[in-house]
Structure formats: structure tokens, C-alpha cells
A and B are shown apart, each in its own frame.
Chain A
Amino acid sequence: MNDDQYLLANAYFDGELTAEDLRIAETDPDVMSEVDRLRSLRSLLRDTDLPPASVRTAAIAAAMGEFSPATRAAGAEHDGSSVTGGYVTSIRRRRPSASRYLAVAAAIAAIGGVGVVVAGVIGSGSDDESSGADLAISTETLASAKPDLARADSATALATTMNASADRVNAESAPAEGSTADIASAESSSATTAANDSTATAAGTEMSDATEMTMVAPAFSTPYAPTPGGLIEPIADRDQTITTPGQLAGLGVLLADLRDADTLGATPETSCLFDDPSVEIVDTTRYRFPDVTKTVLVALVASDIEGHTLAIDPDSCDVVVIGP
């Protein structure tokens, strides 16, 4: 069997063939014989020893210990981040102690399909997390946004200060992309729900307009519109000039490995500080934007499911690029 036949057998086995290639594969006995061998291999791979029942039971019990019917029923994220769909990273800034009774309430709606939601609420909250102001960056929304569109719309969006419901803001600002609009709307609904919930627990506090959503200065206000998505592109040299979000993500992977191996070196000094353990500024890099190459801070955002890498403008502390 030659390599072409072998690759054809693999593609056939994985259901990745066109009708024409399918016909070719099925008329080649060598290919079909190889498919049988691949089937046998898969069967062996799937035949694993089952863990003891006690391990299984303990694992499920541990997970169920994290299940909170009350918060699920309320449609709120278990850990307090305002997420309903897709991959969302939350950057929480803890409430200053001086404003203990006041958390900023704001929802920044989508900027041409790029949604950044700052949901601030008043309320005592049941814990530290719920009382903090959340800056939630929907990377899924970013991934589906077109950079040019974002750039074009941002000027309009930035000039607008809105006092409106987050639903309305999102519906108006992201009409072009159906799925994106849905996601943004869902997020806004979540933010609104969270705000309402928190307001409900804030009886007796001073503020009465807790659910009012105010468009505040968005994080993405630099000339470098945040660029979304793509695949992670491996980076071997941390000093390489970065040109794409994928390379930024690759740099993030490299830096995370160095950090884990305790060989990262000193982290850069900066006034851009996030009071959140999930955001860690680890390095600087040169990032080539369409019109300028600029030194940016590189931050790693930890997440249980997948991490992200951010490029942050050291002057404005704005996020300018989000790696996938």
C-alpha cells in the first residue's frame, strides 16, 4: 500500500471524502482492507479498563458538589461571570473599599459586533465576586466580528453615550451578524439579569437606578481595533515581532511554558494592573499593526477551559489584540 492509498483509507475512515474519492476508495480492495485495520485499531483504543466504581462515584459526586440549582435556575453563571454562550473570559476588577455600597453599573454594548460588557450593579451581594464590577470580554463575539467592521463602527460607538437597556444596545449595534447579534443579546440579557438579581439583593441601599445600563469608555478605544480569532500559531522566539492574533496566542503558549518552568524572567513594570488573579501580565512584545509597530504588554488570562492571550497598550492600558 502506498502513501496515497493509506491517506485515502484514513480519510475514508474518518468520513472526510468527497463522493468521487469515496467511490475510488470503495473500489480499491487494499484501501478497504486498511479501513478494516483502522477500525480494529479504534476498537482497541476505545477498549479501556473501566475505573473502579468508587472512583466513578467519587468523581460524579465531586462534580455534583459544584452544582447549584438555585444559581442555575436563575440563569446566572455559577462563578459570577456574565456568560451565557460561547467562550467568555471575565476580567473582574474588585470594588474599591471606599465604594463598598456602590458597584459601577455599566454595560458596554457591541462595537460593530465586538461586545464588551461592563455590568455594574449596586448591591451588597452574597460574596466578593458578585459585588465586583465585571468586565466581560466575549471572545466568541470577537471571533465572529470582522476587524474592519469593528474599526469602522468604533468611532460611532465611542461617540455615543447610551442610557438604554443592554438588549437594545446590542440589538442595534450588531445587526449584521445574526449569530453574533444573538450572542450579544444573550450576553446582555445575562448582564441585565445579573444586574436585576443583584439589585434585588440590594434592598435598602442608596442607589435606585442599579439596572440602568450606561455606555462607558470602552476598553478598545485605541486606534488599534482589537483583532479577533484565528488559530494559534506556534512561536519559538519570544523576541519575534508579532503580526497576528494567532501569533500572539502562540507567544502566550510559549510564555506560559516558560513561566511554568520558572524561566520566564522578570515581568515588565507597568501601571496597568488588573486586580484579578486570572489576568497576568508576563512580558512585552513588538506587535505590528497595519499602520505601526508598537511595544505592547502581553497578558495571559487563565481559564478552566481555555486560556487567552491579550496584547495591552501600555500607555492606555487598553486591550488592543485578543489571541485565540
Chain B
Amino acid sequence: MIATDEELVVAARNGDSAAMNDLLARHYDRVHAVCRRIAGASRDADDAAQETMIRIVRHLDKFDGRSSFGTWVYRIATNTSLDELRKRRRRPQLHIVGSDDDAPHELADPMADREVEASVDRSAIDAALAALPEDFRVPLVMRDVGDLDYDEIAETLGVPIGTVKSRIARGRRQMVAYLENTGHFGNQPPVDRRPTNEAPDFP
């Protein structure tokens, strides 16, 4: 029988390191997704996800069970990602030429083409999110990736619930418009896929 998060929390608080490890492993992928969507596809997301894991361990005693453990975790992930964004703004941007990350991946199996397509779609999502104003992006990710409800998002971001609703709705609308314009959403063909340095305008 699989233990619930709450059972693992109790065990971890009592010193059960295996339970702690299970909790972290169980939530890591989703935490990383939250960090990735807020901090962007970069090492910052990896750093934020790791920092989130560390904060979970350090502050496990502060989890009071008023929300689900997952909600608590994704709130930490959100705040940690926002911290990473703030740090990024303060540091000079370095562009590394010829790093391993830039190397083309060898396509070694028949599924590779499909993986590339999926990767392109994911890149389009990354681009659409990156073009979204932070005020819209963060609550949208908190809701659609982190599964936080309006109240929790409002509390975390310090804005009224009405603002949260509005920003999420507008963020979604802009995301869909962006993806439709670039041919990555629905059945609508791409409007124009010629290379350009300019992001499509949001409505």
C-alpha cells in the first residue's frame, strides 16, 4: 500500500529518512515543472528545483496541514523560482558559446522524430510563457501547473483574488493567441513561420 503524503510527512518528522526521500522524489518532477515554467528553461530552473527540495527539508516542521502537502510544496517552488528570477535580474547575462547544451542531439531511434516535435512544441510553450508579462505568467503557472487555488495564489502573491482571476484568464487568452499565431495550438495552421526576432504581438 502506497503511503499518503501526510503519512510520509509524519514519518519524516519522526526521523524516517526513507520517508523524507520518498516525499522529495514524489514531488520533484512537478516542482521542476513549476520552476521551469516560472524561471524559464535554464539552469535557473534546476537551481530553483534543488533549492525547493532543500527548503522542504529545512522547513518540514512548518507544514501545518492546512493545505495539502503538494500545495505547500508548490508554493515554496513558486517563491523559490521568483527568487531565482530576481537574482537573474541582478546579475550580468553571460552567453556561453559551444556549451554542451547547445550541441545537437543525435537521433538514434525511430521515436526520435516524434521527440523532436514534442520538443519543438515545448519550446513554443517556453517562448509563449517568456513573452507573457510576469504578472500574468506567475499566477497562470501557479494555477495550471502548481494546482494552487485562487485563494492560495492571492495570498502568495499578495494581490486580491479578483486580480488573480483576471490575470489568469488574461494570461491564458494571451498564451492561446500566441500559440495559435505560431501554429502550436488547435487546428489552426501557422500564420507565418518565417524566422523573426520579434515575438508575436499579444491581442
A interface residue numbers (CB < 8 A to B): 6-7, 10-11, 14, 16, 37-38, 40-42, 44-51, 55-56, 58-60, 62-64, 66-67, 69-70, 72-73, 75, 77-79, 83-88, 140, 183, 231-234, 246, 249-250, 253, 260-261, 304-306, 324
B160 touches A231 (CB 8 A): yes
Residue contact A10 to B165, C-beta cutoff 8 Å: yes
Q: Which of A37, A64, A324 contacts B57 (CB 8 A)?
A: A64
Q: Residue B130 at the A interface, CB < 8 A?
A: no
Other-chain contact of B20, A46, A64, A88 (Cβ < 8 Å): A64
Q: Does B112 contact A (CB under 8 A)?
A: no
B186 touches A60 (CB 8 A): no
Say yes or no: A44-B58 contact (C-beta < 8 A), given A50-B32, A231-B154: no
CA distance A70 to B16 in the complex (A): 10
A residues within 8 A CB of B169? 6-7, 10
B8 part of interface (Cβ distance < 8 Å): no
Q: Which of B24, B64, B86, B185 contacts A260 (CB 8 A)?
A: B86
A-B contact pairs, 18 of them (CB 8 A): A14-B149, A44-B121, A47-B121, A47-B122, A48-B37, A50-B32, A51-B32, A59-B28, A59-B53, A67-B57, A69-B16, A72-B13, A73-B14, A73-B15, A86-B64, A232-B158, A233-B158, A261-B90
- B158 x A249 contact (CB < 8 A): yes
User: Complex: how many Å from CA A163 to CA B143?
Assistant: 49
Q: Smallest Cβ distance from A33 to chain B, in angstroms?
A: 11
Contact of A56 among B28, B119, B129, B150 (CB under 8 A): B28
* B contacts, CB < 8 Å to A: 12-17, 20-21, 24-25, 28-29, 32-33, 36-37, 41, 45-46, 49-50, 53-62, 64, 76, 79, 86, 90, 118-119, 121-122, 125, 129, 140-141, 143-145, 149-150, 154-155, 158-160, 165, 168-169, 172-173, 175-176, 179, 185-186
CB B32 to nearest CB in A, in angstroms, measures 5
Bound together, the chains give a CA A30 to CA B107 distance in angstroms of: 42
B49 touches A51 (CB 8 A): yes
CB atoms of B59 and A304 under 8 A apart:
yes
Neighbour of B185 across the interface among A40, A75, A77, A324, CB < 8 A: A40
Chain A residues near B16 (CB, 8 Å)? 69
Which of B122, B160, B173 has the largest count of A CB atoms less than 10 A from its CB?
Answer: B173
* Docked pose: A48 CA to B140 CA in angstroms: 15
A233 to B57, CA, bound (A): 31
Residue on B nearest A10 in the bound complex, by CB = B169
Partner of B15, one of A11, A69, A233: A69
Q: Which of A16, A51, A63, A306 has the most CB of B within 10 A?
A: A63
Determine if B21 and A60 form an interchain contact, defined as CB atoms under 8 angstroms apart.
yes
| Cα of A11 to Cα of B122 in the assembled complex, Å | 26
Report which of A50, A66, A246, A324 forms a contact with B54, defined as CB distance below 8 A: A66
**A67 in contact with B160 given A62-B54, A231-B154 (CB within 8 Å):** no
A64 and B21 in contact, given A51-B46, A51-B49, A305-B79 (Cβ under 8 angstroms): yes
Q: Residue B158 contacts which of A48, A49, A58, A324 (CB distance < 8 angstroms)? A: A324
Which of A11, A72, A183, A260 has its CB near the most chain B CB atoms (within 10 A)? Answer: A72
Are A10 and B59 neighbours in the complex by a CB distance under 8 Å?
Answer: no
**Most chain B beta-carbon contacts within 10 A, residue among A56, A73, A246:** A56
Q: Are B62 and A85 in contact (CB under 8 A)?
A: yes
Inter-subunit contact B172/A10 (CB<8 Å): yes
Seed contacts A45-B129, A48-B36; 8 additional CB < 8 Å A-B pairs: A10-B169, A41-B185, A47-B122, A51-B32, A79-B58, A183-B64, A260-B90, A305-B76
Question: Could you tell me if A11 and B158 are in contact, using CB atoms closer than 8 angstroms?
Answer: no
Of the residues B25, B36, B58, B172, contact of A60 by C-beta under 8 Å: B25
Interchain CB contact (< 8 A) of A62 among B29, B45, B53, B143? B53
Contacts of B58 in A (CB 8 A): 66, 78-79, 304
> B42 to chain A: closest CB distance in Å?
11
A218–B179 alpha-carbon span in the complex (Å): 57
B15:A59 contact, CB within 8 angstroms: no
* B62–A86 CB distance below 8 A: yes
Please report the C-alpha to C-alpha distance between residue A254 and residue B70 in the assembled complex, in whole angstroms.
30
When A50-B29, A60-B21, A63-B56 are in contact, do A55 and B158 touch as well, CB less than 8 Å? no
Beta-carbon contact of B64 and A85 below 8 Å = yes
Q: In the complex, which of the residues A41, A86, A234 has the most CB atoms of chain B within 10 Å of its own CB atom?
A: A41
